[in-house]
Structure 1
Amino acid sequence: MQAERRKEELQKKRQKLEELRRAREERKTPPLTEQPKAPKAPPKEKPAQSSKDELKALLADLLDPKPASEVETETPAPTAEEAASTKTPSLDSPPSADTAGPPSAPGIQSLSSEAHSSSALGGARFIPEFVTFGEIILDIPPKEIVYYTKETQTLDTSFVPPPPSEEEIREKVKKEFEDEKKAREAAEEEQRLKREAEKRKEAKLNELSDQEKKGVLISPEFNDFLKYSSKIVERAINENYDLMRDYTIDDETENEINDGPCVKFLCSYFDERWSKNRFVTDVNWSHKNPELSVASYNKNPYNMNDPDGIVLVWNLRLIERPEFVFHSQSDVLTTMFSAFHQNLIIGGTYSGQVLLWDMRAKSLPVLKTPLSCNGHTHPIYSMQMVGTQNAHNLITASTDGLLCSWQLDMLLQPTETLELVHSEHTKTDEVSVTSFGFPENETSAFWVGTEEGNIYQANRFGHAGGKAGINPYDFYKGHWGPVTGLHFHPLMGPVDFSDLFLTSSVDWTIKLWKAKSIAKPSSSAQTISSIYSFEATDDYVYDVKWSPTNPAMFGSVDGKANFSVWNLNDDPEIPIVNTQVGTGRALNKLQWDKDGKRAAIGASDGRVHVYDVGELSVPRDDEWTRMQKTIAEMMDGGELLGKYRLYKV
């Protein structure tokens, strides 16, 4: 558009120059002689003399600034010859030098012709001569307009476009916005068409055949994904939180009033695939993850294809199935979490092997002891971890009287072995160990319970003039059947009761013992009696455990599915809580969690029951002082008094 406009301007300039050149050439050519115009007739109503006077005055004003009177007096009247010689020259002849004068306008030429005519008529004294003069044309170029930009500066500014106006900028922005909107709509439409095409493509997919479905279902990748994802979903579902709870309602009016202490049932673990037709041999809690518990099982006599021993890890947030399943070639009689490794699980088997499973690995053990004479060759019913984080050992004892110490990272052979023998044993010198226990912060001295019901004190190392092994002088006599459980009082609170331990037996009793100090060994044989006997049960007592928080409380389980909670400060003769657990099958094992608020109970029907004891585990301020008084009374003759009361009843 700018170029066309520029072309038009140049064309107009060329035309104008052509016209000026043409006019100049016309002026250079001599004009044709013209006859002088006849003078106009004066008006009839005015006299001729007055018209002449007016003409003279007008010419005098135009040509000479002097007044007309002075001209008349100074200029003499010309003669006839002079008048003839001063006639108007021909237009064809060029003007003379003396007659050259300034250029005259067209109006002046007309006045000169009228002056000639008037002079001829009236005889004027002075008649000027008029000549033509060429017009001088000056071509002045237009003023140059220079435009500057930030990037370039050009000399030829004629082709630089003018800056855009506000309206043009607005139109340009509007157009860009519309273009962007159209591009976005086109992209969205393209994405929509792609999705529709993908949907149509998926709809056309053929359904998998039965063989392909079966291949997907049995693939290990699919099974691992299904197990992991379903566990997460079940944990979320098993959160016991009431979403519809109304906080404006008073719960005290709705809840039943409880008369006395009680325990609350939380859950029961049972898996139809692994727990059926088995019974629980041991239970334990994790030291690092309080929601995890582990249970060991014996063989299933009705399914010979399953492993003989099973270890299941249960989760309080996953009740319907176990978190982990571990296999063994022999019945697992005892199991526990490692106290210093949260991912390791240890088990003792009926064949005498010690197995180590890792929750990060598969179901088979990662380490196990060999079946040789270097280790156990008889069933392992009891084991315990002693030591600290940096120096600890696993202590195991079997029914052949062999005690072994192991390092968890090296199970090929025990670091040390000790044969527990007693010269006064009835049949053989070997002592058949069914349970044993170490006092708190003790790694050398320990006490063992045997099949014949006796309890012996033994040492791992010889010291104070004694030898390693069973102390032959101290004889703890009280039970009349195999000892099923032995547990030392935990070291807690302001008063140390770590020398007290409880034992349970198939003679329907629970006995409280005070361990003799190993700092003063006996030099002669002596029999040590229990300081109290709890005889409120009427069936086998399979396990007994002190509470880890309340110094006067402990729990026991028996063959009639009774879970009993005892408090020595309240009533040492009968339990403060006695609850029937499960289906009435015998209860084999009991274990408190780290906080002492939950108890895991293993039953002979393959179920693991979890109970919450609530406020019973919280000790009162005077619980330790009262416990001291109770123990002192028992040692002064409380055992005889208790037996007498039971005899009268």
Structure 2
Amino acid sequence: MSESAARAQRAAALEEKRKRLEELKARRSQRGADSAAVSAKVSSSANLDEYIDDLLRQPGAANTPVAATTTQAEAPALVNETGETPTKAPAQVATANNVIAQAAPPAAPPVKKVETFTVCTQTEPEDFPEQPEPEQDAVSVDDDKPLDDDDEVAPGESAKDEEGEDPKVLSPEELEAEIVSKPFSEFLNTASKKVERVLGTPQLADLLVDYVGEMDGIKRSESKVSDGSVFLASRQLYQCPKWTANRDVTDLHWSPLHRELMLSTYDMPMSANTANQLSKGSAAVSAVSHTDTSSSSLTPRSGELQSDGLALVWSLAMPGRPEHIFTCGSPVLTGRFHPTEAPLVIGGCQSGQLVVWDIRAGRLPVQRSSLTTASGNKGHAHPICSMEIIEGGSGLVTTAVDGKVNFWSIANLRDPAESLQVGDSASCCAVAPESESLLIGDGNGGLHTIQSASSTQGQRTARRTVRKLDVTSSTPGGAAAGGDDGDAAASPGHFGMITSVSAKSIPTGATSRAAGLSKGFLRGSGGLVLTAGVDWSTKLWAPAYSDQPLMSWVSNSYDYMSDVQWSPIHPSLFATASSTGSIGLWNIASSLEEPITGVDGIVVETEAATTGKRGLNKLKWSADGRRIMAAAGDHVHVLSLAEDVVRQKGDEDSRVMSHLVSRGLLERE
């Protein structure tokens, strides 16, 4: 386009804008003329309005009668000179005595009470950056000022930044420096985590749906997962090789406050001098730091990948990376979420110390218990092998491999409140929630109980009492599964270390709660206890009735059983984990002979079944009983069970007792 044509185009645009401004001024002038005409029309009635207003402003006009100079007959004469009725009605009315009285003012409307509230969401500042103020249009129809030629932007003119410079292109060295900078790392960590949460939301779809219980009329799904198992609805693998390579999971736990969070603890990386470190032990942490690297960051500092201890918090929505990372100077053998404070995580270390991590303070512990070096101290001097929450969340119990049991207050984890010695070794621990009685398994196959300070009649005792279940004594009803008689020889205890012990957690309102306590445990099916050991067996106990195991199931492949756990919501369902990498699901209300999953179970780690590596070492039920978290090596598997597995079918609690009584394993009450 030539320069003359461009000038002509701009001139035409300016002429159009001037016409629009003239039209606007003409409309405003017309509105002013109309207003003047209306004022002139009503000016004739102004004198009468002023006279009436003067009468109303006189003192006592509202209470003193006015002379009746105007009667009802003359009332219609109150018109203006032009013969029209006044446009403004006087605020007076005629009374029965033909006098004019002032009308009472109308009552004020009631004031409405308005309540307001604010709805907020937990977001970060970068989620909602400040928006720039909108720029005014170059031309406003309400503006009387005409535009100049300089206000126009020439067509085709390129936009630049505020300084008038083009964006700078970074060199490869500058680009690398920006990528490794702390602001960019924090941004990338936060943004990528949000994307992964969104992509993983299908894993959280059924967290708020309760399928447990009678569901008549609802069609149950019979779909299979990729491995062909009809017992699973889905399965997911959670791993982070960058942090967990060459490590093994030592403990698992589900968060009691956030259903989608999981905790896994790890030992030290395997190396040439691992044996020396295991024998010597190490302090849990040499220093406590409150300005450490953020626990939510995936980037390690120098030497952090080789930390002896590690604890990871996982979210169901992010299988590829942990939500939080905690490190420690000693291998972490057991861990639990804090029962009431969501940001806190408690760990038990090989050094014998308890450590507390806070997600707000970084990766290192913010608190640790006293390191016991003298015989007079109450703390642990040997590795802590198990940990459980007691007293409704206000207490904690830990057991060490030397058989020492410590009771702690959650409010003070520096020194234990009470200590007991149970035998000469310990390997696992469980709590009976209804009675707060403890079950301790040892390295020789023995099972010990610690009765709580409350007796069976509700009276307080002087101290906790320790009792070992003596399997050598003859007790009625102590026959093994498939045994021909009830003598003690047919039902011995474990021949090796007890790897796991599990007590039932009966849902509120269950009928077994009314059965009463005996020897610190519930009578009925609510007091049944399970143990697993390296002697290839899983055993069923009833401490309220007998000191001997009621039944014993031996692995068909003669592999040691690494864990056993009762379902938290199903009265007759439990799961076992073996070194073959498979999980077995049992429902003893249906069968006392074999698991419902068959002798091969559900294969979780195929590598363990073929090469003998990565056998299962831990498993944990979720609080709703619909998921099982299982660990194999450094892999964490989450298995969602099918509805038919977790759904109760009638009174299975009573059927369990009927099976045990009919076999002569328990006496009928």
Query: Would the TM-score normalized by the shorter structure come out above 0.5?
Result: yes
1:495 aligns with 512
Which of 540, 551, 557 does residue 512 from structure 1 map onto? 540
The superposition leaves residues 97-116 of structure 1 with CA deviations (integer Å, 9 ceiling, x where unpaired) of xxxxxxxxxxxxxxxxxxxx
Query: What secondary structure sits across from 2:191 in the alignment?
Result: helix
1:419 aligns with 421
Contact 1:500–1:512 (8 Å) recurs in 2: yes
Structure 1: gaps spanning 5 or more residues: 1-163, 243-250, 422-430, 518-526, 639-649
The equivalences for 1:7-18 within 5 A come to: none
- Tell me whether 1:381 sits opposite 2:401 in the alignment: no
Contact 1:269–1:609 (8 Å) recurs in 2: yes
Deviation at 1:208, TM superposition (A): 3.3
1:356 aligns with 356
Aligned partners of 1:190, 1:501: CA distance in 2, in Å?
84
Deviation at 1:505, TM superposition (A): 0.3
Aligned partners of 1:403, 1:255: CA distance in 2, in Å?
47
Deviation at 1:333, TM superposition (A): 1.1
The superposition leaves residues 405-447 of structure 1 with CA deviations (integer Å, 9 ceiling, x where unpaired) of 22233222112222224xxxxxxxxx2111122211333x322
Which of 621, 625, 632 does residue 661 from structure 2 map onto? 632
- Tell me whether 1:453 sits opposite 2:445 in the alignment: yes
Amino acid at match of 2:160: A
Summarize the Cα distance change of 1:181–1:597 in structure 2 as closer, same or farther, 3 Å threshold. farther
Aligned partners of 1:541, 1:185: CA distance in 2, in Å?
89
The superposition leaves residues 300-338 of structure 1 with CA deviations (integer Å, 9 ceiling, x where unpaired) of 125994101111111111111111110011111111212
Contact 2:447–2:469 (8 Å) recurs in 1: no
2:79 aligns with none
Amino acid at match of 2:631: G
Amino acid at match of 1:289: H
Aligned partners of 1:317, 1:181: CA distance in 2, in Å?
59
The equivalences for 1:29-48 within 5 A come to: none
2:627 aligns with 598
Aligned partners of 1:184, 1:351: CA distance in 2, in Å?
81
Aligned partners of 1:468, 1:297: CA distance in 2, in Å?
33
1:311 aligns with 311
Query: What secondary structure sits across from 1:495 in the alignment?
Result: helix
Contact 1:559–1:587 (8 Å) recurs in 2: yes
Out of 334-343 and 460-469, give the one that drifted further: 460-469
Aligned partners of 1:386, 1:187: CA distance in 2, in Å?
80
Deviation at 1:167, TM superposition (A): 10
Aligned partners of 2:639, 2:469: CA distance in 1, in Å?
42
Aligned partners of 2:26, 2:253: CA distance in 1, in Å?
87
Contact 1:481–1:505 (8 Å) recurs in 2: yes
Summarize the Cα distance change of 1:183–1:625 in structure 2 as closer, same or farther, 3 Å threshold. farther
Aligned partners of 2:551, 2:638: CA distance in 1, in Å?
29
1:267 aligns with 236
Aligned partners of 2:434, 2:622: CA distance in 1, in Å?
19
2:367 aligns with 367
Deviation at 1:383, TM superposition (A): 0.8
1:104 aligns with none
Amino acid at match of 1:454: G
Aligned length: 443
Deviation at 1:288, TM superposition (A): 1.4
Summarize the Cα distance change of 1:410–1:197 in structure 2 as closer, same or farther, 3 Å threshold. same
Summarize the Cα distance change of 1:253–1:312 in structure 2 as closer, same or farther, 3 Å threshold. closer
Deviation at 1:366, TM superposition (A): 1.4
Query: What secondary structure sits across from 2:549 in the alignment?
Result: coil
Summarize the Cα distance change of 1:537–1:325 in structure 2 as closer, same or farther, 3 Å threshold. farther
Aligned partners of 1:171, 1:303: CA distance in 2, in Å?
98
Amino acid at match of 1:579: I
Out of 355-364 and 191-200, give the one that drifted further: 191-200
1:169 aligns with 30
Contact 1:531–1:634 (8 Å) recurs in 2: no
Contact 2:506–2:569 (8 Å) recurs in 1: no
Summarize the Cα distance change of 1:469–1:188 in structure 2 as closer, same or farther, 3 Å threshold. farther
Deviation at 1:287, TM superposition (A): 1.1
Query: What secondary structure sits across from 1:498 in the alignment?
Result: helix
Which of 573, 583, 593 does residue 573 from structure 1 map onto? 593
Deviation at 1:370, TM superposition (A): 2.4
1:196 aligns with 159
2:501 aligns with 486
Contact 2:383–2:400 (8 Å) recurs in 1: yes
Aligned partners of 2:334, 2:618: CA distance in 1, in Å?
10
Deviation at 1:395, TM superposition (A): 0.5
Contact 2:355–2:365 (8 Å) recurs in 1: yes
The superposition leaves residues 320-368 of structure 1 with CA deviations (integer Å, 9 ceiling, x where unpaired) of 1111110011111111212222222111111111111122321111111
Query: What secondary structure sits across from 1:388 in the alignment?
Result: helix
Deviation at 1:386, TM superposition (A): 0.5
Aligned partners of 1:253, 1:441: CA distance in 2, in Å?
35
1:159 aligns with none
Aligned partners of 2:566, 2:543: CA distance in 1, in Å?
16
The superposition leaves residues 175-201 of structure 1 with CA deviations (integer Å, 9 ceiling, x where unpaired) of x98573987999996799998132894
1:440 aligns with 433
Summarize the Cα distance change of 1:187–1:466 in structure 2 as closer, same or farther, 3 Å threshold. farther
1:180 aligns with 143
Deviation at 1:636, TM superposition (A): 3.1
Aligned partners of 2:346, 2:221: CA distance in 1, in Å?
49
Contact 1:397–1:403 (8 Å) recurs in 2: yes
Query: What secondary structure sits across from 2:526 in the alignment?
Result: coil
Aligned partners of 2:573, 2:632: CA distance in 1, in Å?
22
Contact 1:440–1:498 (8 Å) recurs in 2: no
TM-score (norm 2): 0.60
Summarize the Cα distance change of 1:366–1:180 in structure 2 as closer, same or farther, 3 Å threshold. same
Deviation at 1:228, TM superposition (A): 1.7
Query: What secondary structure sits across from 2:340 in the alignment?
Result: coil
Contact 1:420–1:469 (8 Å) recurs in 2: no
The equivalences for 1:281-296 within 5 A come to: 281-296=250-265
Q: RCO greater where, 1 or 2, for CA within 8 Å and sep 6 or more?
A: 2
1:114 aligns with none
Aligned partners of 2:28, 2:242: CA distance in 1, in Å?
83
1:395 aligns with 397
Whose helix fraction is larger, Structure 1's or Structure 2's? 1
Query: What secondary structure sits across from 1:371 in the alignment?
Result: coil
Aligned partners of 1:528, 1:327: CA distance in 2, in Å?
42
Deviation at 1:546, TM superposition (A): 0.4
Which of 217, 226, 249 does residue 179 from structure 2 map onto? 217
Contact 2:223–2:230 (8 Å) recurs in 1: no
Summarize the Cα distance change of 1:488–1:219 in structure 2 as closer, same or farther, 3 Å threshold. same
Aligned partners of 1:596, 1:603: CA distance in 2, in Å?
21
The superposition leaves residues 461-517 of structure 1 with CA deviations (integer Å, 9 ceiling, x where unpaired) of 597988645226755851001000001011222224332110000111110100137
Amino acid at match of 2:602: T
